[in-house]
Structure formats: structure tokens, C-alpha cells
Amino acid sequence: MNIVYSTSNFSQLTISRQKMERSFVNKIFSRSKFLILVITFTSIFPVHSQPTEVMNSSEIKLALKKLNVLGSVLYIAAHPDDENTAVLSYFTSGKLFRTGYLALTRGDGGQNLIGSEQGDLLGLIRTNELLEARKIDGAEQFFTRAIDFGYSKSPEETFTIWDKQKLLFDVVWVVRKFKPDIIITRFPSNGDGGHGHHTASAILAEEAFNLAGDPNKFPEQLRFVDTWEPKRLFWNAWTPLLESRKDDLSKYFSIDLGSFNKLLGKSYSEISALSRTQHKSQGFGASGRRGETLNYFSYLLGSKADNSLTENIDLSWNRLDGSQKVNELLSTAEKDFDIEDPSKSLPILAEAYKELSMIPSSYWKKVKLNELKNVIRSCAGIWIECISSDKSGALGDDVGLTAGIVNRSAFPITLKSIKLNNLASEIFLNKELTSGNFVSQNIKANLPIESKLTNPYWLERPHPQGLYDVEDIKLTGAADFRNEIKCQFVLLFNDTEILFDTPVYYRWTDPVDGEKYSLFNVSPPAAIRLKNKTIVFPDQQSKKINFELVNLSDNLSGEIKLNLPEGWQIEPSSIPFNFKNKYEEKELSFKIIPPQQNSTAVVSFEISTGIGLSDREIVQLNYKHIPPQTYFPKAEIKLVKVDLEQKVNSIGYLIGAGDDIPEYLKEIGYDVKLLSDDDLESAKLNNFDAIITGIRAYNTREKLGQFNTNLMKYVESGGNLIVQYNNNRDIVTDQIGPFPFTISRDRVTEENSPVNFINPNHRLLNFPNKIAASDFDGWTQERGLYFADKWDPKYETVIGCNDKGESEKDGGLLFTKYGKGVFIYTGYSFFRQLPEGVPGAYKLFVNLISAKQSK
Ligand SMILES: [Zn+2]
């Protein structure tokens, strides 16, 4: 990184951009080409969403007390939302332990209640929701490489998809690095936790508990972390389960999570609700419980305890050799703290920092130095920021930054130097920071062309099903890490030198939301914005691929082309472009001609520019409850040629909880209208060849209860109603179909489970498309969910399937005639298969839509 510092202008540059451009032509900014992390840090910090705020006096008081507690606890479960946030809050702010939550997954396989993101992007949202939750309950967040693949019935099935040894590696790493005195699991390992991922998390926690101290297990980790033996392991029992089993609660350890923290003015159960409410993509808003709330813990492994979870664990400074002086200083600081003027503590805290710095390196030294640093910063009311003039900078471009700092105490502090990351030489200022005087420093930096993009580390490389592919072992367990630029400030408190740092942010003022920040992104020079990730060709007709080309550099010209496999044709072969302004966008399109035979292909984009090639897409997520997210995955589209016979045209679609099926039906040529509640009331339903209800429509659309009779009349007079899966709780009508059937929790999670053609001559398997066994190849995540388990004999079953070791589930596709029309219920998960371009799923879904036309 080449950096020139100047207080007044940006005139100097060590290497000109032109020189860079010449030397790096023909480089591709791809995941695989840039294995060297050019912007590096000495340790892995979590990504923050804005410059760190200082603590108020009562929070400082609590932090001072916490400085004198040397204990830690790690909570382990499987998903975002599994964690008991009241327990985390109790340990962080009540017991004053260093507290962590290790979630095996980022929740990538769940359903999104606030948008249409699924898979990797849903995992990115949930990762940030967890980080927001941790800001409230004060715990730290960790993950393994496991990818949530939806519901799993057993840990055995789970471990066929997740490589158990690799996951054990991750859990052992987190235990060795975090060094918990106690580990708490949310679920038991006996299967009572239901979901296979849940049981797997308990199995892994128990095995890691026993193995983390063994130097022969994963010895390759010992270059970076030491072995560690936690004291004991507990299961955080689920109170309703204990009560339903009529367990003797006296044999469990109990904690009152309703106890009140006077310094925070809240009980742990109240803090818990605020934290849990961050899980917005799951709709988990929670209310605080007030009053006694007992929670139970069952001892499982390690040193026996008689009275409390933490008994016989030394929580004092005695754990750290040579810390006696530090202990004395920090005890005095806590005792003498002046809530009216925290800065009075600065001399003694600075002395404690210096003493602690001189003790030989160890785990607790590192943890406590970090805590102490934040207490010192808060006592002085120091605000630190480094703000970019632009929200992103392209590789090879120059970026203007302004570092700023203000000391809001009377204590004399000197700003010794400022530095970007740890590559460039420091700029020495030796400037005294007088109280209330905001000091700023302009910095001009050039973003090295071989730098990595600011992508979330776990999404940096393509990944198969199962686990993310993370190259750097040191990132194991990290919640988030990106190749962000950081600005370091070296401050002198008397003669004690303390380094503070902050990521570079872009800042703006929103007319509604006020001060807003986003992480400064290192971007490719240009990127593609895609509308659809899958394009289906139902016949020999050519189709246009429409996309936007986004300029992320200054004036930029070049050409864009698509890399197509053999058999597919494209017109034109490339498109030239010329941009004047940064962030300018152009709508472009290529014409694609499919091959004659059915085929599936992945095409990639290639943007050639004067400063090299880019093969990236730009994805931006803007949700109010998490920081704005910008991510640059490889720009790819899936092309699917599948000959489809379609017998009808117009479809009415009743969106339920949210799915993208209408878009994909339009893609293959249907005329799709989204139906409002008003449409349900009117008699115009008869205009549609078929009406389809979206996933969980009968759970989410109140009016369907009242107007389902209109849908039945529609069927009776010759329509075709297709109802996709609904949850069996909170259904808005007693009877969805013309004849009774009940929806169960039956699901088939093995997406490759064999499918039995119960009724091979049935119209749904033959008209207008002939369905073969091969049409069930390549399905994703699952076969389906919420199958019916009982139905009126007037319904016909068509196909059945089951997970290994279970009986066949035949209620996933029910068909019946009613009046002049037909009614279909299906739990098969078309909402996952159509966006993924699964050809057989298209053929079968088109047959459902055409069911009325067959005799
Ligand atoms: Zn869970």
C-alpha cells in the first residue's frame, strides 16, 4: 500500500495510477488469483458497523468491575436464534465473564421473512443480525464453516452432509482460542433437541470438550493456539421440557435470569428480549419478562460442581503470573471511580495498562489489555474516526480519507502518530489533544491493484454443499472478517503508549434515520448487477439476458463479454462501453440462442477495462436493522434449456410468506398476475386458467379464511387451484380444499431420495410433459415439507418418497376433481427448485398448471 500523508492537499503520490494501470493490465480480479492478503492485520477483529461509541459512566463502572473478573463461558448451539440471549447477558453483565456464542451455522438454509434472499445472502443477513444481537447482550460471536441446509432429522444425516472431522476441528479451535472455563450447550446430545443440527452441536461440543486439551488432536492448530481444558460442561435445559417430564428441578443448577442489573437499569431477561428481537429475518421479535425467571442447567462433563456452575474456578488476577501490581491498581480504580468525572481514573488506569503490558504474553493479558483500552478511551471520552470521501474505491484507484480524533477530558493526551493498517510508514504528529479540540488529518492512499475485495471471508471462495471453504486457518471461528482498511492512532497517556484503531467508513446523514455509516469497500473497477440468476429456455426461441453494468472507478472504458459453453450461441460476441462518471450504470443485454437438446450451463461475465479484468457481480443489501452490505461474488448465470409443453397461459398468483415462483413462471412465458385480497372478493377469478397460492399463503393471508369459498367456486366452475405448502399451525381456514385433508409436519429432507410413481398413468405425470425418474435428479435442499398425512378418499395420490429409514410419505401431491375443475395440494418444494433451474421440477410444475386441460 502506497500512502502519502498531507494535512493540506492530496498532491503527492508515490506511484501514479497510470503506472499501476500499465503494469497490471490483463490481471483478473478473481477469487483464485489473489491469494495474498495485501492489506493485513495483526489480529482478527470483528467488523463494526460504525466508529466505536464511548461508554457512559455506569457502563464504565461495570467495565471496571469486569476488569477484575478473569472468567469465561462459551455457549454452543447450531443456528442463529438457538442461543439463550438471557443466559449470555447474565454471564456478560451479571457474572462479568468473557462470554461467547458459537453457532455452527449462519442460518443460510432457513426461510427469510423480510425479503427474498436465500442461501449465502440469507446467511450474510443472519450473521449481521447475530452481531447486532451481541452488541446488545455483550457476548462475542463465533461460527464454524457449516452451511445450514435446512431441516435435518438426525445427527447421522447431518454428518453425511457436514464433514464431522472438519467441524470438530473448528469447534476445538474456538475452544482453544476462546479458552472457556465452562461450556454450555443449548441442546442435549440424546436427540431431545429435535433438529439433527441441534443434536450435532451438542455432540461436537462434548467431543471438543474432551479433545481441546489433547496436543495430539489437530496438532496443526498449535502453531496458532494452545491446548485448553475447560473446567466443566453443562446442558442449558429447556424449562418447558423439564416441566412436561415432571423432572425434579432441585437436581439442576438454577439461575434467576430475571435478576436486575442496577448499573444497566434492566434485568437480563429484558436485555435478552432486545437482543433476540434482532433476529428480524426470522420474525423473532420478543417481549421482556419481568420478575423471577429461573433457568436450569444440567452438569454433563468435567470437574464436579455441588453448588454453582462456576465453583472452584479461580476468577481472580491470581490466574495471571506477575499481575499483583495490576490487580492493586485496578481494584483501587474500581473503588475510587468518580461517576461525575471518569477522567479522574485515567492516571491509575494508564499506569495499570503500562504494568499489564510488561507481563509476559498470555491469554488473559491480551483480553484484559483490550478491555482496559476501551475503559481508558471511554474515561477520556475519546472519539476516533477515519472517514472516506467516497463509499467505495476500486483496485488501483486513489482514495481520500480524513482521520479525526477528539479528547473530551482534561487529561493531557498526545497524538503521537497515525497509520493506515500496518504497511506504510507512520506519520508522526506529536500533537497534544487538548480538551474538546477536534483534530483531523487528511490521508491519501492508493488501493493496491493486487488487493483483495472487501468480501465476507467465508464467501470469498466458491463452496460446495456442506461447508464453506476458508483458506486461512487463522480465520477459523471468526464471525466476520473483510479486507477492510483500518486506521491506527498511537496515543500517549503520560508515558504510556496505547494504540487504537478503526475501520474506514463512509458517512452520510439520512433525512429520516440521521447519522449513517457504511464500511468503505474495496471494489473491482466495474461489476454486473443481475436480475435473475437462472434463465430457463422452454423451447428453441432465443432470449435476452438483461443486466446492468456498474462503473465503480472513475472514467472507464472497455468491453464486456460472456463465457458460454459449447452449443450455446450469443449475439453480439462482446459489447464496448464508455463511462464518464463513477457509479454510472448502463442497461445492457445479450441475445442467447439455446442448443437443440436439453442442457444446463453456467455462464460467467468478463469485463475488460484499462485497469484489468473484472468478473464480479455487485450485490447490495439495505436493511435498517443491520449495516449496509456490499458483496462482490463471481458474476454467473445459470442457463437451462428444457423443452416444456405448456397448455395454458394466464395464472393468478396469491403470494404468501414470499417466494420467487411468479418471476420464474413469467420467465417461461406465462402471463402471471399477482392477486390482491380485493381480487379474491371479486368474481373475476374465472379469467385465470390456473390460480396458485404461494408458500404459506393460508398461514399469512387473513382474507383467505373469508374468501376461500370463492376459490372453491372457481374450481367448481372449471378452474384449477394449486395450493403449495402451508404450516399446519395457524391456518386461516378449517378446510383448504373441496374435501378434507390434514397437513402434517411430514417432510422429506433428502433431496435425492428415490421417488415412487404410485400412479404412473396419472395425468400429472404424463400431460403435457412425460415425467421420468430422471426428472427428480438434481433437486436442491429437500423434496418437500408439510405433506398431508390424512385425506378424503376423493383425493388421488401420485408420487411418494421418504428419508432413509422412514415409511413412504404419499401426501406431498394430492389431486382431485371438483365440479368442472381440479384442485391440487403440493408440499414439494418448487419454491426452491425453480429459482435453482431444476429442469424436472419445471416439467412437473407445468403439468400441475395444465392439469385441467387433460382428460
Ligand atoms: Zn436451531
| CB burial string 455-483: b at 16+ within 10 A, e below | bbbbbbeeeeebbbebeeebebbbbbbbb
* Ligand 1 centre distance from Cα of residue 802 (Å): 23
* Ligand 1 centre distance from Cα of residue 157 (Å): 16
Q: Are 175 and 229 in contact (CB under 8 A)?
A: no
* Ligand 1 centre distance from Cα of residue 78 (Å): 6
- pLDDT of 763 above 70: yes
- pLDDT of 11 above 50: no
- What pLDDT is attached to residue 421? 80
* Ligand 1 centre distance from Cα of residue 114 (Å): 19
- What pLDDT is attached to residue 241? 85
* Ligand 1 centre distance from Cα of residue 310 (Å): 26
| Cα(198)–Cα(190) distance, integer angstroms | 10
**How confident is the model over 167-199, as pLDDT tens digits?**
999 999 999 999 999 999 999 999 888 899 999
- pLDDT of 798 above 80: yes
Read off the C-alpha cell for 766. Answer: 404424463
* Ligand 1 centre distance from Cα of residue 200 (Å): 11
Helices vs strands, H then E, count in the chain:
19, 45
Q: Is 388 exposed, middle or buried (0-12, 13-18, 19+ CB in 10 A)?
A: buried
Read off the C-alpha cell for 116. Answer: 427474498
List of residues 6+ apart from 720 with CB closer than 8 A: 648, 689, 690, 691, 821, 822, 823, 824, 849, 851, 852
H or E element in which residue 351 lies? helix 346-358
Cis peptide bond upstream of 768, omega within 30: yes
Q: Are 448 and 423 in contact (CB under 8 A)?
A: no
* Ligand 1 centre distance from Cα of residue 242 (Å): 19
- What pLDDT is attached to residue 424? 61
* Ligand 1 centre distance from Cα of residue 99 (Å): 20
* Ligand 1 centre distance from Cα of residue 150 (Å): 10
When the pLDDT of each residue in the chain is averaged and rounded to a whole number, the result is 90
**Strand, coil or helix: 627:** coil
pLDDT > 90: percent of the chain: 77
- pLDDT of 115 above 50: yes
Read off the C-alpha cell for 623. Answer: 436493511
- pLDDT of 20 above 70: no
List of residues 6+ apart from 61 with CB closer than 8 A: 263, 334, 337, 339
Cα 721 to its chain centre, rounded Å, is 36
* Cell 452520510 sits on residue: 508
> Which pLDDT band, with edges at 50, 70 and 90, does 31 fall under?
very low
Q: Are 614 and 607 in contact (CB under 8 A)?
A: yes
* Ligand 1 centre distance from Cα of residue 20 (Å): 49
> Which pLDDT band, with edges at 50, 70 and 90, does 233 fall under?
very high
* Ligand 1 centre distance from Cα of residue 198 (Å): 6
**How confident is the model over 314-332, as pLDDT tens digits?**
999 999 999 999 999 999 9
| Cα(207)–Cα(201) distance, integer angstroms | 10
* Ligand 1 centre distance from Cα of residue 123 (Å): 14
Q: Are 673 and 691 in contact (CB under 8 A)?
A: no
- What pLDDT is attached to residue 18? 34
**How confident is the model over 827-838, as pLDDT tens digits?**
999 999 999 999
* Cell 404410485 sits on residue: 758
CA atoms 513, 519, 525, 531: torsion sign: negative
* Ligand 1 centre distance from Cα of residue 196 (Å): 9
* Cell 461517576 sits on residue: 339
User: Average pLDDT in the 378-392 region?
Assistant: 95
* Ligand 1 centre distance from Cα of residue 272 (Å): 17
* Ligand 1 centre distance from Cα of residue 771 (Å): 36
- What pLDDT is attached to residue 427? 84
Among the residue ranges 280-284, 612-616, 631-635, 673-677, the one predicted with the least confidence is: 280-284
Kindly report the length of the chain.
855
**How confident is the model over 590-611, as pLDDT tens digits?**
999 999 999 999 999 999 998 8
List of residues 6+ apart from 555 with CB closer than 8 A: 579, 580, 581
> Which pLDDT band, with edges at 50, 70 and 90, does 242 fall under?
confident
| Cα(853)–Cα(825) distance, integer angstroms | 18
Q: Are 117 and 125 in contact (CB under 8 A)?
A: yes
Please give the DSSP secondary-structure letter assigned to residue 809: B
| Cα(827)–Cα(829) distance, integer angstroms | 6
User: Average pLDDT in the 147-170 region?
Assistant: 93
* Ligand 1 centre distance from Cα of residue 80 (Å): 7
- What pLDDT is attached to residue 151? 85
Vertex 460: Cα angle to 34 and 423 (nearest 5): 50
- What pLDDT is attached to residue 41? 31
| Cα(825)–Cα(316) distance, integer angstroms | 63
- pLDDT of 239 above 90: no
> Which residue has better confidence, 118 or 582?
582
Residue type, position 840, single letter: G
* Cell 385441467 sits on residue: 852
**How confident is the model over 454-493, as pLDDT tens digits?**
999 999 988 888 999 999 999 999 999 888 889 999 999 9
User: Average pLDDT in the 700-709 region?
Assistant: 91
- pLDDT of 46 above 70: no
- pLDDT of 8 above 60: no
User: Average pLDDT in the 560-582 region?
Assistant: 95
User: Which DSSP string corresponds to 743-788?
Assistant: E-S--B--TT---EESSTT-HHHHSSS---GGGGTT--S-SBSS-E
- What pLDDT is attached to residue 612? 85
- Reference 639, options 567, 588, 571, 550; nearest CA is 567
- What pLDDT is attached to residue 422? 53
- pLDDT of 648 above 50: yes
* Ligand 1 centre distance from Cα of residue 630 (Å): 27
User: Average pLDDT in the 429-442 region?
Assistant: 94
* Ligand 1 centre distance from Cα of residue 84 (Å): 11
* Ligand 1 centre distance from Cα of residue 158 (Å): 13
CA atoms 143, 147, 148, 153: torsion sign: negative
